[in-house]
């Protein structure tokens, strides 16, 4: 026993030791294997793109709040400033983004949401569904509002906005007031942006007018005059300029206040008369004015109008398999049932077939700028994959049919000359738009281009500029008020700050996540602190989706939960937001939101 005992002890000791060692190793290797086999969940990452503060300080501030709040919610949020033209390119053409903050020029009519959200446009460029959003429910409601009018349309719109509160493909932060400055003697009622608003100024009777000089308009920005192509989106531009050069069939009136179920009021422009017929599908018979000419003295006729709609649908004019639609005005073109069935009756008359489209939506097609066929037809040449010459042309000497023709441009100015042959310049044309009653009080228009807003306001104070036509940030209002002989004008607008989500991003594809993200901006704080009150918060469901409308839409009072900010004074309460994410199935590890 004495002899055996120690050896057994030694053996058992060894066995025990190796057993422990092996099992320890086994435990270790299990963990090792499971780590190697399963990638551990990673933190959710989002990159927010917006313009640098030089281009839009408010957008940069909204981005800053969003970034801080996303980070507090455990998301690895980074921010990439990117110049305006490139941001449009990334978001509207390449779809290369996660989240973007941008000032949207505004939705003229509810039907514009059709272009923004209908899944038919997922593969298209421009403001046609840049989110890659597709939802059969939304599609159906978008189509229904398009084909109905009156109460039926109002009901489908209300239903649509209710539904959007849940799917949140994008969200609206605030509607900035349009702020501008003008020489006191002009006594303007609002700062102009749309072409018709500039025409309105030129038609005002002034005490010491009419003037034998051009109206001097102050704008600021980089590379504003590089591309004067009305069909492209990836460029900077002077608002309203192309609308002055290119006339549409009709322009939405400056005094329009229509009900959601009714068509908006339009002033006839190139069209002398438009007759609607609802027998077996909606058609509009358009009679053009007599004696219309392009700026290069060619005749403008009904073929140009038919061409414009065909060209917007396919800028290759059938040269490629499939189509190459224009990134702008594309949605309005789809209001027509079939561009191939536009019937040109004679030089001045044509019939636009709208099929099942209702009139409230259909009238939007009238505001598409009409392009000269003889200039744009050769630009249908295909120069690269899904790219035609029309989509890359600078169009640096635009030939339109507007009241003004392109004069000259340099780095710091752009001059529009009066187009004397325009039929609307004579007072006795039939059906002349009422806005032109005292037109013109100035000879032409001259844009003075400044490097930034401060320089633009200096020019205004010096008297070098009559009126400003670019956004004036709220904190610069005092600069205008302090200057003598100059007055501030403001008006509420339909343009809005938008936060858009790329549905192709794995997390942003989840509507619950988008819904939470849409809550992470304190809209009330943004309006009071960033805008100094010069903005309006969206307070109805339609307003949360960029659609203010001219009059109230019934049944849009409920804005839950998008309008609820889980925090105070711009900062979120991290616990509350984490709770929201946990409720929709997400997990946290050490404060980081996991995929």
Partner 1 sequence: MTLVSVVFDLALVVATMLATATLVIVGPRQIAAAIRDARWRLEVCLLPLAVLALVLFIRWSTVDVVIRLERRVLGNNITPQLFELEQFLFPQNPVTVLQTFASPALTEFFVFVYIYGYAFLLLFPFIAYFALSNMDDLSTLILAFTANYAIGLTFYILFIAYGPRNFDPLLFEPLLYDVFPQSRSLTNQVNQNTNVFPSLHTSLSMTVFFLAWLTREKYPLWVPVSGVLAISVVVSTMYLGIHWFSDVVAGTMLALISVYIGRTYTVRGIHRSIRRYLDSRFGDRGSAGQQ
Q: Which two tokens stand for residue 194?
A: 């749309």
d(CA 326, CA 128): 10
Question: Based on the number of CB atoms within 10 Å of its own CB, is 145 exposed (0-12), middle (13-18) or buried (19 or more)?
Answer: buried
Binding of partner 1 by 222 (CB under 8 A): yes
CA atoms within 13 A on the CB side of 145: 26
The 3 state secondary structure assigned to 16-57 is HHHHHHHHHHHHHHHHHHHHHHCCCCCECEEEEEECCCCCCH
Task: Report the distance separating Cα 487 and Cα 184, nearest Å.
Answer: 5
Q: Which of 421, 330, 323 is nearest to 380 (CA)?
A: 323
**Of these, 43, 45, 53, 592, which contacts partner 1 (CB under 8 A)?**
53
- 79 near partner 1, rule: CB under 8 A: yes
Per DSSP, the residues of 346-365 read ETTEEEEEEET--HHHHGGG
Site residues for partner 1, 22-51, by CB under 8 A, read 47
Q: Does 458 bind partner 1 (CB under 8 A)?
A: yes
- Rounded CA gap, 485 and 462, in Å? 10
Contact flag: residue 452 with partner 1 (CB under 8 A): yes
Q: Is residue 482 within the footprint of partner 1 (CB under 8 A)?
A: no
User: Between 108 and 222, whose beta carbon lies closer to partner 1?
Assistant: 222
Q: Does 171 bind partner 1 (CB under 8 A)?
A: no
Contact call for residue 412 and partner 1 (CB under 8 A): yes
Q: How many residues bind partner 1 (CB under 8 A)?
A: 30
Based on the shown chain and the rule CB under 8 A, indicate whether residue 569 belongs to the binding site for partner 1: no
Sole binder of partner 1 in the list 46, 73, 82, 91 (CB under 8 A): 82
At closest approach, how far in Å is the CB of 451 from partner 1?
4
Q: Does 227 bind partner 1 (CB under 8 A)?
A: no
Contact 216/449 with Cβ under 8 angstroms?
no
Which residue number, 14 or 464, has a Cβ lying nearer to partner 1? 464
54 binds partner 1 (CB under 8 A): yes
Does the footprint of partner 1 cover residue 455 (CB under 8 A)?
yes
User: Does 61 participate in binding partner 1 (rule CB under 8 A)?
Assistant: yes
| 571 counts as binding partner 1 under rule CB under 8 A | no
Residue placing its CB nearer to partner 1 in the complex, 222 or 298: 222
- Min dist CB 461 to partner 1, Å, is 11
Tokens of 424: 């609307």
CB of 65 to partner 1, least distance (A): 7
- Axis crossing angle, helix 574-583 with helix 57-72, rounded to the nearest 10: 70
First-residue to last-residue Cα distance in the chain: 64
| Min dist. Cβ of residue 142 to partner 1 (A) | 34
Q: Alpha-carbon distance 536 to 180, whole Å?
A: 17
Residue selected from 6, 16, 19, 451 as contacting partner 1 according to rule CB under 8 A: 451
151 lies in the site for partner 1, by CB under 8 A: no
The C-alpha atoms of residue 284 and residue 354 are separated, in whole angstroms, by 8
Q: Interface with partner 1 by CB under 8 A: which range of 61-69, 209-217, 256-264, 416-424?
A: 61-69
Q: Does 80 bind partner 1 (CB under 8 A)?
A: yes
Q: Strand pairing partners for 276?
A: 284
The residue (of 455 and 592) whose beta carbon lies closer to partner 1 is: 455
The binding site for partner 1 (CB under 8 A) comprises 47, 52-54, 57, 60-61, 63-65, 78-83, 86, 89, 222, 412, 450-455, 457-459, 464
């Amino acid at each position: 026993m004495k002899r055996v005992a120690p050896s057994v002890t030694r053996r058992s000791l060894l066995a025990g030791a190796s057993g422990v060692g092996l099992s320890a190793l086994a435990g270790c290797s299990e963990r090792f294997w499971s780590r190697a086999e399963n990638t551990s969940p990673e933190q959710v990452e989002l990159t927010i793109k917006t313009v640098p503060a030089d281009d839009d300080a408010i957008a940069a501030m909204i981005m800053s709040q969003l970034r801080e709040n996303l980070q507090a919610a455990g998301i690895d949020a980074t921010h990439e400033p990117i110049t305006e033209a490139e941001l449009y390119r990334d978001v509207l053409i390449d779809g290369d983004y996660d989240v973007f903050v941008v000032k949207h020029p505004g939705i003229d009519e509810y039907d514009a949401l059709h272009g923004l959200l209908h899944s038919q446009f997922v593969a298209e460029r421009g403001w046609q569904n840049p989110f890659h959003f597709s939802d059969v429910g939304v599609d159906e409601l978008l189509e229904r509002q398009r084909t109905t009018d009156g109460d039926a349309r109002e009901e489908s719109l209300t239903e649509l906005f209710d539904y959007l509160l849940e799917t949140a493909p994008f969200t609206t932060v605030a509607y900035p007031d349009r702020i501008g400055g003008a020489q006191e003697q002009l006594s303007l009622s609002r700062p102009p942006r749309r072409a018709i608003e500039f025409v309105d100024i030129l038609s005002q009777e002034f005490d010491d007018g009419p003037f034998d000089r051009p109206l001097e308009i102050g704008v600021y920005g980089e590379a504003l005059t590089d591309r004067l192509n009305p069909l492209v989106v990836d460029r900077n531009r002077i608002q309203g300029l192309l609308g002055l050069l290119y006339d549409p069939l009709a322009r939405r009136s400056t005094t329009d206040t229509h009900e959601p179920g009714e068509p908006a009021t339009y002033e006839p422009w190139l069209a002398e008369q438009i007759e609607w017929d609802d027998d077996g599908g909606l058609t509009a018979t358009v009679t053009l004015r007599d004696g219309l000419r392009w700026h290069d003295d060619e005749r403008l006729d009904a073929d140009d109008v038919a061409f414009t709609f065909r060209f917007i649908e396919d800028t290759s004019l059938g040269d490629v398999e499939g189509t190459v639609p224009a990134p702008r005005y594309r949605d309005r073109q789809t209001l027509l049932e079939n561009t191939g069935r536009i019937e040109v009756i004679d030089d001045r008359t044509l019939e636009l077939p709208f099929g099942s489209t209702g009139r409230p939506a259909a009238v939007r097609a009238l505001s598409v700028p009409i392009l000269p066929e003889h200039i744009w037809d050769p630009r249908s040449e295909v120069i690269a994959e899904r790219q035609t010459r029309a989509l890359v042309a600078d169009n640096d000497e635009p030939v339109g049919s507007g009241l003004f023709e392109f004069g000259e441009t340099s780095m710091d100015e752009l001059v529009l000359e009066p187009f004397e042959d325009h039929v609307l310049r004579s007072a006795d044309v039939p059906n002349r738009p009422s806005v032109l009653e005292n037109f013109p009080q100035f000879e032409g228009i001259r844009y003075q281009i400044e490097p930034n807003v401060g320089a633009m306001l200096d020019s205004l104070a010096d008297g070098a500029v009559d009126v400003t036509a670019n956004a004036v940030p709220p904190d610069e209002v005092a600069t205008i008020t302090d200057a003598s002989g100059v007055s501030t004008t403001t008006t509420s607008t339909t343009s809005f700050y938008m936060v858009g989500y790329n549905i192709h991003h794995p997390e942003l594809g989840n509507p619950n996540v988008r819904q939470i993200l849409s809550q992470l901006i304190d809209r009330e704080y943004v309006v009071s602190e960033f805008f100094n009150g010069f903005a309006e918060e969206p307070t109805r469901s339609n307003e949360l989706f960029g659609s203010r409308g001219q009059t109230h839409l019934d049944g849009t009072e409920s804005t839950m939960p998008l309008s609820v900010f889980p925090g105070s004074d711009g900062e979120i309460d991290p616990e509350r937001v984490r709770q929201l994410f946990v409720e929709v199935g997400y997990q946290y590890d050490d404060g980081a939101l996991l995929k």
